[in-house]
Amino acid sequence: MLTHAALRLLQLVLMLLVLSLVTFILMKLAPGDPVLTILKAHEGAVTEEDTLLVREQLGFDLPLYQQYGQWLSGVVKLDLGQSYTSNRDVWNLLVERLPASIMLMAGSITALLILALPLGMLAAKYQNRLPDYISRLFALIGSSIPSFWLGLLLIYLFSYQLNWLPMMGGGSISHLILPSVTLGFVMAPEYIRLLRAGMLDTLSQEYIRAARARGIKEWSVLTRHALRAALMPVVSLMGMSMGALMAGSVVTESLFGWPGLGSMAMEAITQRNYPVIQGYILLTGLFIGLANWLSDMGLVILDPRIRLGGGRGG
């Protein structure tokens, strides 16, 4: 287990190193001049001397490998540079937006599970019957609706028409409901299909028939035996979903004005604020790697044979 954990940690470090290099190169190849972004924030005419001075201050006059080396050495010290527009440390900006993204991730996962678990279980329990048809119809509709369109629909219904929930912004649970439901709804179809397929396969196993023959209640058979086995692929997919949500859903956060990492990234892209973009992408990679690691740990908990196998291999 320790060997496996050390290997996964090494893979994560190498992945982040490659990601940082690719991100840095893409930022240099991107159209637009960040120097103009900085100079436009100040009043008055922009002269050639001003442009050259800013380029020198930012180190743009150095070779690319030296620029990357300086930036990477700062990353190791948790110094991601300064924002071009606010002159604030990028690390502080990311940490400031992180709690909102954590709240949105937790809310979205909660909405996802509330929708996917009962629909997937009922679809498998009542295969080719009304609950199964309803579940498959929901999955079809959910996978066909873009998140921004669903978000606009929810805003119109619950904010504009009924005035039950705030339209935009953050800071309270009421602000969290609409973006969480939006993300949970569009992610739920894949989980419903996975759970239904896993439950159908598990319910046909011999040990399930033996449990029923011993008189174990059907609800206990479904939840304690069939659901536990069917959750294996769901947990694997959950790791990727958690990583994406923690990194921030750019479209949904921008639509609802949610003050998370995604909306910050959208602002940085429009402003060509390269240090913020690079820090955001690096943090995204870290979250995805950690989420996949947590997914592996969840599989170990669900299936002890994985733990035993890892112990023998280590």
Please give the pLDDT value at position 314. Answer: 37
Taking CA atoms, 237 is separated from 58, 112, 252, 288, 296, in Å, by: 41, 12, 20, 12, 11
Distance CA 101, CA 170 (A): 11
Distance CA 163, CA 87 (A): 39
Token couple for 214: 């011993």
C-alpha closest to that of 74 among 31, 24, 120: 24
Distance CA 53, CA 57 (A): 6
Distance CA 57, CA 281 (A): 24
Q: CB count, 10 Å around CB of 275?
A: 22
Q: CB count, 10 Å around CB of 169?
A: 12
Alpha helices in 59-89 (DSSP H): 64-76
Q: CB count, 10 Å around CB of 43?
A: 5
Please give the pLDDT value at position 54. Answer: 74
Please give the pLDDT value at position 84. Answer: 79
Please give the pLDDT value at position 128. Answer: 85
Please give the pLDDT value at position 297. Answer: 67
Distance CA 97, CA 171 (A): 12
Instruction: For 109-165, give the DSSP string.
Output: HHHHHHHHHHHHHHHHHTTTSHHHHHHHHHHHHHHHS-HHHHHHHHIIIIIIIS--S
pLDDT 10s digit of each residue in the chain, 314 long? 556 666 777 877 888 888 888 888 887 776 666 777 677 656 556 667 777 777 777 777 778 888 888 888 888 888 888 887 788 888 888 888 888 888 888 899 899 889 888 888 888 888 888 988 988 888 888 888 888 888 899 998 998 888 888 888 777 788 889 999 998 888 888 888 888 888 888 777 777 777 777 777 777 777 776 777 777 777 777 777 777 776 657 788 888 888 888 888 888 888 788 888 888 888 888 888 777 777 676 666 656 555 544 443 33
Please give the pLDDT value at position 310. Answer: 45
Categorise residue 78: left if φ over 0, alpha if ψ from -120 to 50, beta otherwise: left
Secondary structure (3-state) at 82: strand
**Domain 99-259's class?**
mainly alpha
Max Cα-Cα span within the chain = 86
Please give the pLDDT value at position 32. Answer: 67
Distance CA 278, CA 19 (A): 10
**What is the value of pTM for the model shown?**
0.76
